Amino acid sequence: MNCKEFENQTEQWMEGVRSAEAHGHHLACDRCRALVEDLEAIRLAAPLLAEEVAPPERLWASIRGEIDHEMFVPQWMDGVRTAEAREHLTVCERCRNLVEDLDQIRAVAPQLARELAPPPRLWASIRAQLEREELIRQPSWWESLAGWFPAPSWRLAASTAAVLALAAVTIVLSGRNPRVQPKSPDWLSTDQPELASVDIQLNHVERRAIRSLHTDDPAVGDTLEQNLAIIDRQIALCEKTLEQTPADENTSDYLYDAYRQKADLLTMIAERSGVPTE
């Protein structure tokens, strides 16, 4: 069996129908094994991308709850500041922090808008869902920014962005499927710029996710934080190595692995960020 014949059978392979010839070729051919690995990675991420990248129901429920609770925030950020809202901010530390965070986001928004263009399909899906549920109405600066921070809470933004980041990592890396696009020999000229935007997203999510991480078991919280630090060190070292040897595909594989792990871990942390009680 040659590579073309194996590719023709990939659909059956992924469905578990695997001939002896296909098995033999899979064992012998690095390229086709990489193809299958990529397809398996995409299949693992498929639940996130299914139904036009629908986030988990739990996340939607959380987003709905938060938007109901903090509906005044978009108006506040658009300059509509009622006496009731002002009074609420004086007593509610959580909302005060949220507004402070949003002020900071607004300050860096123009740069983010340039650097962090989300995949249109992803944002279209989230926006459509929010509109279906009548949670957003007319576009404002808030909503145009919401491509990355669609919910009026940093914790929710972290949750949502973690899901988005995971999808983004998947999309970026799925472009590396050798069938679709051969690996570039020069990491600096191609992959680094793509990953830079993923890196910015993930770092944003990370800072906020750590702040909002709430677990009843310190061992779990400590483990998550420590392992996030491990992944960050791994990313830094891989990037440093790639700056010296940009054509080193092995190191770039380790770097992509680390990004995948970081996105997975941030999603895990976001899932464990319980709704705070006031």
First CA to last CA across the chain, in angstroms?
A: 64
Minimum gap (Å) between residue 195 Cβ and another protein: 17
Burial of 237 (0-12, 13-18, 19+ CB in 10 A): middle
Q: Answer whether 163's CB lies under 8 Å from 270's CB.
A: yes
Minimum gap (Å) between residue 186 Cβ and another protein: 14
In this complex, which beta carbon is closest to another protein, that of residue 46 or of residue 71? Answer: 46
In this complex, which beta carbon is closest to another protein, that of residue 22 or of residue 102? Answer: 22
Rounded to whole angstroms, the Cα distance separating 159 from 155 reads 6
Minimum gap (Å) between residue 31 Cβ and another protein: 12
In this complex, which beta carbon is closest to another protein, that of residue 197 or of residue 203? Answer: 203
Minimum gap (Å) between residue 16 Cβ and another protein: 11
In this complex, which beta carbon is closest to another protein, that of residue 151 or of residue 224? Answer: 224
Phi and psi dihedrals of 277, rounded to 5? -105, 145
Rounded to whole angstroms, the Cα distance separating 95 from 101 reads 10
Minimum gap (Å) between residue 22 Cβ and another protein: 13
In this complex, which beta carbon is closest to another protein, that of residue 135 or of residue 265? Answer: 265
Contacts with another protein by CB under 8 A lie at 23, 27, 215-220, 222-224, 226-227, 230-231, 234, 237-238, 241, 245, 248-251, 254, 257-258, 261, 265, 268, 274, 277
Tell me the two tokens of residue 218.
């310190």
Q: Which of 208, 263, 210 is nearest to 235 (CA)?
A: 263
Rounded to whole angstroms, the Cα distance separating 253 from 187 reads 11
Burial of 102 (0-12, 13-18, 19+ CB in 10 A): buried
Q: For the chain, how long is the longest CA-to-CA vector? A: 74
Angle between helix 154-174 and 120-132 (nearest 10): 140
Tell me the two tokens of residue 235.
């990313």
In this complex, which beta carbon is closest to another protein, that of residue 120 or of residue 218? Answer: 218
Minimum gap (Å) between residue 252 Cβ and another protein: 11
Minimum gap (Å) between residue 231 Cβ and another protein: 7
In this complex, which beta carbon is closest to another protein, that of residue 180 or of residue 220? Answer: 220
